[in-house]
Amino acid sequence: MRQSLFFSKTRREAPRDEVAKNAQLLIRAGYVHKEMAGVYDFLPLGLRTLKKIENIIREEMNAIGGQEVLLSSLQDPAPWQASGRWDDTVMDVWFKTRLHHGEAFHQGSELGLANTHEEPMVRMMKHHIASHKDLPQYVYQFQTKFRNEVRAKSGVMRTREFVMKDLYSFSRDEREFRAFYEQVAAAYLKVFARCGLGAWTFRTFASGGSFSKFSDEFQTVCEAGEDVIYVDEEKRIAVNEEVYRDEILREIGLEKARLQKKKAVEVGNIFPLGTKYSTALGLTYKNEEGENVPVYMGSYGIGPARVMGTIAERYADEKGLVWPLSVAPFALHLVRLGEEEGVRECADALYTRLQKGGMEVLYDDRPHLHAGEKLSDSDLLGIPCRLVVGNRGIADGVVEWVERQTGSVRQLPIEEAASLLLDPDAGVMPKI
């Protein structure tokens, strides 16, 4: 993509009301635009990174048998009334709206905006599950959630509107449920590892619900986090402070002395639901004995934008964003310094070859910008590798390759540069 044609612009300053580091950087680098408090738009760079994170999650959900669907955002109150969660005092994050009633605006029936999807999902599954032969089923979606948060101050990590990957499991019994639950836990750790957060992310004991003493959170240690956890680095397990009590530590076999207190971001959670919603909404199946029994459920969430914000927080440095290759909007930033014909020709030729070779390249072909501006923009954007084509290098027959995260620099002979970059075994480009 030629940057001269690309819809992207860096800014010197983030909006004054933006307090979160992730959003400040993402706004300055042109990844997101702030629509209002807790509501962000994704610009082309941000959308590319968001979609890469979504695709990593999608691949791992498909690998464990997940089936992708898309439920509506507008929600009928009926199943929520049946479960007892329609009331604002029970669920305090509802956004609600109203249908027209003929000419009377907003005087018709009340509707909800999805803040989660258990109830409509269970009601929909009643058309698909009748017998034990119809189970298990693992259904997920990437769909917008609306949450009426009173405060939204963590940038893209806690917003009033965000896409969530939510998966729901429908199993015959607790044993079948548990086996899948552990598969999801393993898949989640893979997702966070692939997104570059593996080293800092811990499966974390948290409080459960009516059907389970505990739920499992996936917490990434990060100064910007809203949660506090206690981490056993060696066992790679953590405990949320909400269940950090002596009796519970004994129960789960953790030693207080080995735990370190950390701030963390909840990047995912998995939750045993038991038969709470299936009982409330009448989702039953006929078992092998011919009895109708409620389906055993679990739910499993990851917010891709929160993952994006966490990566931004963990990797950024004083110069700007830094993306792991797996989620970077482009793999390579080709930066042309200078307008001389030789420089243009060399950079254009490299761009064409790298594009044809299948590399995702952002090519800074913008004219009339100082080298300093181009390089500081490039630092701010945080694309993992940079290739600088300038007059001085050309005189020496080289282009300069720079790794954004480490700052390490290599001179590549012009003639060999493209093939070295395109060869995954040449040791120039990092591996995903």
Q: Which residues of this chain interact with a copy of itself, rule CB under 8 A?
A: 5-7, 9, 11, 33, 35-36, 39-44, 47, 50, 65, 67-76, 88, 92, 94-100, 102, 105-106, 111, 113, 120, 124, 127-128, 134, 137, 139, 144, 146, 148-150, 160-161
Neighbouring C-beta atoms of residue 137, cutoff 10 Å: 16
Residue closer to a copy of itself (CB basis): 167 or 394:
167
CB of 28 to a copy of itself, least distance (A): 11
Q: Is the dihedral of CA 111, 112, 117, 122 positive or negative?
A: negative
Residue closer to a copy of itself (CB basis): 92 or 396:
92
Residue closer to a copy of itself (CB basis): 161 or 216:
161
Residue closer to a copy of itself (CB basis): 96 or 178:
96
CB of 90 to a copy of itself, least distance (A): 11
- CA–CA separation, 77 and 109 (whole Å): 9
Residue closer to a copy of itself (CB basis): 9 or 250:
9
CB of 5 to a copy of itself, least distance (A): 7
CB of 8 to a copy of itself, least distance (A): 8
Beta carbons within 8 Å of 113's beta carbon, 6+ residues apart: 73, 74, 75, 94, 95, 96, 97, 146
Residue closer to a copy of itself (CB basis): 100 or 245:
100
CA atoms within 13 A on the CB side of 56: 26
CB of 381 to a copy of itself, least distance (A): 16
CB of 12 to a copy of itself, least distance (A): 12
Nearest to 53 by CA among 328, 361, 432, 431: 328
For helices 304-315 and 44-63, give the axis angle rounded to 10 degrees.
110
In eight-state DSSP terms, residue 326 is G
Q: Can you give 146-211 as a three-state secondary structure string?
A: ECCCCCCCCHHHCCCEEEEEEEEEEECCHHHHHHHHHHHHHHHHHHHHHCCCHHHEEEEEEEEECC
- CA–CA separation, 249 and 14 (whole Å): 43
